Structures are given as C-alpha cells and as structure tokens.
Amino acid sequence: MNIRNKCAVLAAVLLSGAAVRAQQLLPLSLAECRERALAHSEELRQADNRLEQARLDRQIASAAALPKIEGSATGAYVLPDIDMMGMELRMRGTYMAGLTLTQPIYAGGKIAAARRMARIGEEAAEEQRRMTRMDALVEADNAYWSLVAVDGKVRMLESYAAQMDTLYDQTSAAVGAGMAIENDRLRVEAKRSEIRYQLQKARNGADLCRMSLCRVIGVESDVRPVPTDTLLRAAAPGELTADLEARPELRMLEQQVAVGEQQIRDARSAMLPAAGLSLGYTYYGNIKLNSMVDAGGGNYVPYTQEFRDGLGLAMLAVKIPIFHWGEGRKKVRKARYELRNAQLDLQKNTRLMSLEVEQAIRNVEDGYRMIQTAELALRQAEENLRVMCNRHAAQMAPLTDLLDAQSQWQQAASNRIEAATQYQIYRTEYLRATGRLE
C-alpha cells in the first residue's frame, strides 16, 4: 500500500472515530425507555386533554340542574313624550335593572340523562387514555427490544468476523508453507467477505433501530441510546389467563351501550312535560308624568311626578307537548336502533378480542418453546464448532466442514437472539391484549 492510500485509510479511521465520539451515549434501561416514551408521546398528551374536556363536560351537565341567576340593565331615551289623557309620560333617560333566578323543576328526565352520559363520557375518556398509554408502551418495548436484537447480532457477527480473520491468517500461512492449496484461502476469503457484508447490513439495521428508538423516547438523532437490559435469559411464562375485564376497548364498548340507553331516555324526555320556576326583581326609575293640576280658583299649575320603584316577579311555567306528528316516538325508535347497533358491536368485538388474547397466549407459549429450541441448537452448534476446530487443527477434517460448522453456529446464535427478543415482545403484547400493561 502506497503512502497516499495509507493516509486515506488513516483519515477515514480518524473521522469515523470522531463521529462516534460526537454522539452522546445514553445508557437506557427498559423502565427508563418506557418513562421517556410516555413523557414524549403526543398522543398521550392529547388523551389527557380529552379527559379534561370530558370532566368539564360532566361539570357542565351537572350545572344544568342548578338555579341560574342573571342580571340585566336597560337604559332608554324615548321621543316624543307620550300623551296619556291630557298628561305627558316622559321617558328621557329611563333605566331599569334587575335580577332573575331560573330553576328547572322537571325536564322529563333530560337533565338526568345528560348527566349520566357526561359521566359515562368521562369514564370512556379515562379508558381511552389507558389504551393510548398501552399503545405507547408497546411501541417503546418493540423499539427497545428490536435494538437489543440487532446490537446482539452485530456483536455476534463481529465475533464471527474475528474468527474468520484468524482462520484466514492460518490458511494463508498454511498455503505459504505448502500445507494448503490456494483454493482454501480463496474459499475463506469469500466467506470472510460475506460475513463483512452481513456485518455492515446489521450495523445499518442497528442505526435504523436506534433512530426509531430516539423518535419514540423524544431525543435528538445525535444521541446514541445504549440498552442496558440485554439479559435475554427468559423466565417461564407461568399461568396465562384470557381475562378481558381489564381491556379498555371492552369497557369503552360497554360504555357505548350505556350511552345508547341514556340516549333513549333523552329522546323520550321530549315527549314529557317540563316545568320551571322563575323569580325576578326589577328596579326602574326616571319615569316622569307631567300634567296641569287645579290649584284652586280656576288656576292650573304644572305638576311633575317621578316614578322610582321595584317590581317582584314569581312565575311557574309548564310546557306539555301535545302533537308533533310523531316526532318524539320516531326519535325514540331511532335511539333504540343505535343501542342495538352498539350491543352488536360489543358482541362482535368481544369475540374478536377473545381470539386476539388466545393468539397472544399462544405466541407467548410458542415463543418460550422457541427459546428452548434455539438454546439447544446453539449448544449443539457450539460443540460441533469446537470439535471441527480441533479436527481441522489436527488435519482430520477438511476446511469446508469447518466453514459449515461456523455457519451453523452463526445461524444458531442469530436464532437465539431473535427468539429471546421476540419472546419479550410477545409478553408485552399479551399484557396489552389483556389490559394489564402498566
């Protein structure tokens, strides 16, 4: 290699090292990953906002049954003066001010239905928040364990590449000593190039997984998350139940049925009487009455009387629907159909969620069995590789058998990593499917 090529290689190494140092390392456990993902999730913040809106809706609905107090003030300037049988009523600058209290007494059940629907809406918003939180945790777990899997494959391939470099050096030395043929070195060189290609693909995949994890936890792309929970020794799944009671989707469907029942009551309330009580007090002033009065002896003098006083009002109003061309009954029938549709949605989706839970249980159980199978295959591949290395060193086995043993070990190690990380993802999905992912 000439001096120019050596300088180019040295510069590339220095630049790559500087790029690695420029990245800020972030040791990250699974619990920290979840916490950061929840804090960063825009969907979860939107769910929090919807929950607050639902709470305000419930408070608004509760306020509908309380008395309402309103104040009013009016000023008037009337021209011309009003003639009242020889007298003039002057209202130039007349003012009125008053308070009114309105209390609904009976609204046919409309207010009670609205309060129940608002309470159900708040409960549904809470379940929606739980579901959004679980989705964020599932996304965080998937991103975390995917990065763990790819990083594990990178380390495994780096170890494999080191083995192939050692084997290449040994084979080159054997060719130089006349103890091996050139074809053996070419075969090892081809295998080493293949491993390097796979290693580069794995590193690229690790970068993509790391970028995905950065997006989930809300950090910049120059941050390099380093998973610390890489212990892939899986525990037995234990007893897995198919209970759906804690599933937020199921509760939301049940709440939709409850809303349909209240909508029927709300539609029926339009067919019932409504009664309300109003109390008010109004104070008025600057109303003047001008006239001429007899002062005696046939003499008339001008006389002005100003009116300033207050008026109280108590009113009970009753509204009774009599004939609306069957509009109320049709609204009730429509609400019943909506209730029936909600019940059918509950039945259908309950069956689908039950199947989803059964599939999640099967995935967890199969995932654990896959780990056991992969561990057994890895132990066998390691033993086979050890035996082949010894036999090849003693010139009792051809190079192709050694290369095959190394390939089998690589595949077994890759399968072990995939099975272990997929099992963790399956466990998270099972907890989400049963509504217990917290």
**For 313-342, what is each residue's pLDDT tens digit?**
999 999 999 988 989 999 999 999 999 999
Superfamily of domain 112-195+225-271+329-438: Outer membrane efflux proteins (OEP) (1.20.1600.10)
Give the mean model confidence (pLDDT) for residues 172-178: 86
Q: What is the domain partition of the chain in residue ranges?
A: 69-106+273-320, 112-195+225-271+329-438
Tokens of 433: 């499917």
The arithmetic mean of pLDDT across residues 7-31, rounded, is: 59
CA–CA separation, 294 and 50 (whole Å): 75
Give the other-Cβ count within 10 Å of 296's Cβ. 8
Kindly state the average pLDDT of the residues 207-223.
93
And the tokens for 194? 């293949």
Average pLDDT, the chain: 89
Number of alpha carbons in the 13 Å side-chain half-sphere of residue 50: 16
Confidence of residue 19 (pLDDT cuts 50, 70, 90): very low
pLDDT given for residue 85 in this prediction: 79
List, in sequence order, the alpha helices (H) in 3-109.
3-22, 30-40, 42-63
Question: Which pairing describes strands 24-28 and 223-227: parallel, antiparallel, or unpaired?
Answer: parallel
Condensed to tens digits (0 to 9), the pLDDT of residues 60-116 reads 999 999 999 999 999 999 888 888 877 888 888 899 999 999 999 998 889 999 999
Q: What percent of the chain has pLDDT over 90?
A: 70
pLDDT-based confidence at residue 22 (cuts at 50, 70, 90) = low
pLDDT (mean) for 220-239: 84
Class of residue 421 by CB neighbours under 10 A (exposed 0-12, middle 13-18, buried 19+):
buried
d(CA 375, CA 412): 8
End-to-end CA, the chain: 59
Q: How far are the Cα atoms of 68, 210, 400 from residue 164, in angstroms, in the given order? A: 85, 28, 13
Interval 330-373: pLDDT, tens:
999 999 999 999 999 999 999 999 999 999 999 999 999 999 99
Helix (H) or strand (E) holding 89: strand 87-90
Cis previous bond, 80, omega within 30: yes
Q: Tokens at residue 223, please? A: 């941050």
- Cross-strand bridge partners of residue 281: 99, 312
**Which residue, 336, 406, 398, is CA-closest to 191?**
406
H/E element holding 292? strand 274-296
State both tokens at 281: 């007090």
Calculate the CA 303 to chain-centre distance.
78
pLDDT tens string 236-293: 888 889 889 999 999 999 999 999 999 999 999 989 999 999 999 999 998 888 887 7
Q: Please check the confidence at residue 12 and state whether its pLDDT lies above 80.
A: no
